[in-house]
Structure formats: C-alpha cells, structure tokens
Structure 1
Amino acid sequence: MKYAERDAFEVVGIEIRTTNADELSSRGKIPALWQRFFAEGLLEAIPHRKPGAPILAVYSNYENGIHGAYSLLLGTEVTSVDGLPEGFVARAVPKAKYAIFESNQGPTAHVVPDVWKRIWTWNEGARAFVADFEVYDERARDPANAIVDVFISIVAP
C-alpha cells in the first residue's frame, strides 16, 4: 500500500445508489451499471474527457461508512462539466489524502472484490468516507488479466 495526496478533479459518467449489503446479495446493481457503460459506449459519449484519462469508478455520498448507502459513478475525468448530455452526472472529487491499494493481477471480476475485502479489514477509523475511486488504466485494458488501483480517502494525520 502507498499513500498520496491528490488535487481535486471532476468526473462525469452514469451513477447508481446502492449498499454493500445489496451488492453481496441478488439485489446488486454494480454489474448492470458496468454492462450498460460498455454496451452503450458511454465512455465515448462523455464530453470534455481529459486526454488519456482512465475509466474511474467513484464511490461517494456515503450515508454510514461501509454499512450505509453510497453512490457509485462510472465515468472519467473531464476538463469541464458544461453541456452534459441527459443521463450523465458530474461529481467533484475534493482534494484529499489517499491510501492506494493495488489489486492482484487477474480477472477484474475476482481481483476487484478481493482488493475491497482487504480494504474492509483495514483500519476503518483511518477512512474519511469522502470519495474513493478505482482506476482502470492501461493495466486493466484486458479484463481477464487486469490490475486495478483503489484510492481510499483517509483522515489526514
């Protein structure tokens, strides 16, 4: 695990509201969100995409830490949030300090839940629950053999 500070940035994409309990049951919404994102080619439809920016999965609007509802936005970093097409949402990710967890290499359907299991057993008191995000960069282009970084906002020491 590494630590870094990141300046504020804006992300545009599509968003759902869910809970970890729902995602661990048959009521999970995240797989359908990913399917829609790729099936409808939504990355290419996002205006003002920052050149070379990876796909981001941004977790925000936490209701009660890991136990409550949260929002998940799939999208990418943008240079402007002006003129968004219908159905797209903009989310500002504030400047924060992060603990960065790197997944193992393998199928995203396995390595991403595995890295989140590590995060959930990590010192929850250090989490800020402001905005966390997964980074799907060039190392995640092949979903059968991917590495994903997860940035967890932390309380500054």
Structure 2
Amino acid sequence: MKYAERDAFEVVGIEIRTTNADEVTPRGKIPGLWQRFFSDGVLDAIPHRKLGAPIVAVYSNYENGVHGAYSLLLGTEVTAIDRLPEGLVARAVPKAKYAIFESNQGPTSQVVPDVWKRIWNWGEGTRALAADFEVYDERARDPANARVDVFISVVGP
C-alpha cells in the first residue's frame, strides 16, 4: 500500500445503491451493474469522456460508515457534465489523500473481493469515507487476468 493525494475529478456512468450485507447474498446488485455497463454499451454513451481515462467504480454517499448503504457509480472520468443522456449520472470525487491498494493479478471476480478484504482488515478508523474508487486501467483489460487499484480516502493531512 502507498499513499497519494489526488485532485478532484468528475465521473459519469450508471449508479446503484446497495450495502455490503446485500452484496454477499443473491440480492447483490454489483454483478448486475457490471453486466448492464457492458451489455448496454454505457461507456460509449458517456459524453465528454476524458481521453485515455480508465473505467472507474466510485463508492460514495456512505450511510452509517462502512456498515450501511452506499452508492456505487460505474463509469469513467469526464471533462464536463452538461447534457447527460437519460440514465447517466455524474459524481464528483473530491480532492483527498488516498491509501492505494493494488490487487493481486487474476480474475477480477476473485482479486477485487480479495483486495477489499485487505481494506476492511486495514482499519475503519483511518477511512475518511468521502469517496473511494477502483481503477480498471490497461492492466484490467483481460478480466481473467487483471490487476486493479483501489483508492481509499483517508483522514489526515
């Protein structure tokens, strides 16, 4: 794990509201969000995409810390958020200091939950819960053999 400060940026995509408790049951919404993202061609429908920007999954609007509901937006960074097509939403990711966790390499369905287990064991007290995000860059092009970075907003200077 390493730390870095990141400037604010805006992401446009599709969004759900869920909980960690739901995501470990058949009621989980995250797999369906990913399926919809690709099957509906959401990435191609996003206006003002920033050239070369990766797919990002932004976790925000935390209710009751990490134990309650949160929003998950799946999309990409944009240069503007005007005139969004119906069904797309924008989310601002604030300037913050982040702890960056790198997943192991392997199937995304395995390495992403594994890195989140490391984050949950790392300690809730240091998390700012402003906005956290996963980055699916060129290292994640092959979902059977991917590596993903997870940025966790942290408390402190």
> C-alpha distance in 2, partners of 1:13/1:65?
24
Structure 1: gaps (5+ residues): none
Q: In the aligned structure 2, how far is the partner of 1:64 from the partner of 1:100? A: 23
Paired residue secondary structure (1:105): coil
Matched residue SS, 2:65: coil
Identity of aligned residues (%): 84
What is residue 151 of structure 1 aligned with on the other side? 151
Deviation digits for residues 14-51 of structure 1 (CA, Å, limit 9, x no counterpart):
00000000001111000000000000111011000000
Instruction: Please state if 1:140 is matched with 2:140.
Output: yes
Corresponding residue for residue 108 of structure 2: 108
Q: CA deviation at 1:133?
A: 0.1
Aligned counterpart, 2:16: 16
Q: Secondary structure at the match of 1:66?
A: helix
Alpha-carbon distance between aligned partners in 1 of 2:29 and 2:8, rounded to the nearest angstrom: 27
TM (norm. structure 2) is 0.99
| Long gaps (5+) in structure 2 | none
Correspondence list, 1:34-113, <5 A: 34-113=34-113
Q: Which aligned segments of 4 or more residues in structure 1 are displaced greater than 3 angstroms?
A: none
Give the letter aligned to residue 31 of structure 2.
P
User: Alignment RMSD, CA only?
Assistant: 0.5
